[in-house]
Amino acid sequence: MTASETTPETSHEASPETAAEIRHSRPAPLAGRRIRVAVIGTGAIARDSHLPALARLADEGETELVAAVDIDAESAEGFRTAAAATAAGAPRPYTDLDRMFQEQRPDLVTICTPPTLHRDQTVTALRAGAWVWCEKPPVPSLADFDAVEAEEGKDGGPYASIVFQHRFGSGTRHVRRLLAEQAMGRPLVAHSQTTWYRDTAYYAVPWRGRWRTEGGGPAMGHGIHQMDLLLDLLGPWSEVRAMAGRLVHDVETEDVSTALVRFANGAMATVVNSVLSPDEVSRIRIDCERATVELTHLYGHGNDNWRITPARDVPAVEAAAWQDFGADVPSSHLEQLRDLVASMRAGERPRSSGADGRTSLELIAALYKSAFTDATVKAGEIGPGDPFHAAMHGGAPGWAPVVGEQVGGGERVVAGEEAAA
C-alpha cells in the first residue's frame, strides 16, 4: 500500500512570512526530551504505517505525536482518535497547516499526501525549522528536489528525507555488508523487478496517471522502491537505455517500462516496472562472482525473503556464514524512522536525503529521457536547462500533456503551463 494510492490531499501551506517567523523561534535542542511530530495527510498510509511506528517510538520515549493535519476535518479527527488509542500521543487535529506550525512548533513532520503537494509542504516545514520525512516519490521532478535541498539547514539540519523503508532491516543490512566487503566477489549481473497490477478503477482517481500530480507512472510511483534498493546495494549507476509504453491504461504517463542500466562498478542490470502484471511480485537479484543473492517479496521483506545461492566451489563453512542474517528485523517504516530519529539527535544528515535520496530520482529521470528520446543517457547529464530536469516527461512529443485532451477524467495541459503551476 502506498501513499499515492490511498491518501487524501492536504493543500494548506504556511506563508513565507509566517514560516520565517516560526523559524526564528525554533524549538530548543533535542537532547533530553521527546521529538515533537506532526503528520500531514491522515489517509491510509499515515494510519497503517506511520502511526504504528510513531506509537512504538513513543513507547520507547523517543517521540510525541502533537498534530495531525488534513483538509478533511473528519479524517484528521479520525486520525486523532486512532492515535489516542495508542502510545503515540494526543495529536491535535488541524485543517490549516499554517496554524499548526504556529501553535505546535514540531521538530519533525511526516508527509503522507499526494506527490503534487510534497514540494510546497516540505519547503514550508523546512522553513519552519522542522525536519521532514516524506513519502515517495518525494517530488515530481529534479528541479523540485533541488528547490527542497536549497531550503535545508547547512549545519545540523533541518533536513528532508524520503520514505525508502526497503533499505532498512536486517536482510538489507546483511547483504549490503557482504557486497561492500566483496565477500561473494564482484557484483556482475542484476535485476530489479516491480511487476504489479492496477485496474481501470485505480486510475479513475483524478490525480493518478498524470504528470503534474503524480510525477510519473509505475517507474516513479511503484518501482522507485526496488530501484532505490538496488542503488543502495550496488552504488552509483553510469548509464541507462530504456523503453516505455502505454499498453493498457488511458493515462498521460507510462504503464510499463524496461531499462538496461550499467553501474559505475561495471555491473549490468535490467529494470522492469509494470502495473499490468496479475501475478504481482517485487524482486531484486544480484549475481556475484561467487554467489547469487535474491530478494522476493511484494510490499516488504524479512530475512526469509532473502536467498543466497553459493557457487559450486564455495566452501560450506563460508556459505553458511553468508546465510547468517542475525535476528529478523523486517523492513518497515519503524526501522527507518528509528534511524531518522537517531540522526536528528546527532544533528547529522539522515540516509535517503540529499544526494543519497536524489540518486533514485536521477535514475528515473534518465529512464524517461532515454525512453522518450531513444538515446542512451549518462549519469549527471540531466541538469538545469535540460527539459527532463524540469519535468519527468521532458516535453517529449507523445508524452507531454496536451491542451484540452481528456485523459483519466481530467484535462491535460501543456508542459509550459505545468512548469509554471
Phi-psi region of 146 (alpha: psi -120 to 50; beta: other; left: phi over 0): alpha
For residue 40, give the nearest of 143, 141, 121 by alpha carbon.
121
Q: Does 397 sit behind a cis peptide bond, omega within 30 degrees of 0 on the bond before it?
A: no
Report pLDDT for 5: 37
What's the burial of 324, exposed, middle or buried (CB within 10 Å: 0-12/13-18/19+)? exposed
pLDDT of 18 reads 52
Q: Residue 402: what pLDDT?
A: 82
Instruction: Say if residue 168 is exposed, middle or buried (CB neighbours under 10 Å; 0-12, 13-18, 19+).
Output: buried
**CA–CA gap between residue 279 and residue 67 (Å, rounded):** 39
Q: Can you say whether the dihedral through the CA atoms of 149, 153, 156, 157 is positive or negative?
A: negative
Q: What is the pLDDT of residue 339?
A: 98
**Angle in degrees, 0-180, between the axes of helices 170-181 and 224-234, rounded to the nearest 10:** 40
CB 333 within 8 A of CB 50: yes
Mean pLDDT by 10 residues, the chain (421 residues): 38 48 55 96 97 98 98 98 94 97 97 95 97 96 97 94 98 98 98 98 94 95 97 98 98 98 98 98 98 98 98 97 97 98 96 96 98 98 98 97 55 29 26
Q: Using an 8 Å Cβ cutoff, are 253 and 214 in contact? A: yes
pLDDT of residue 3: 36
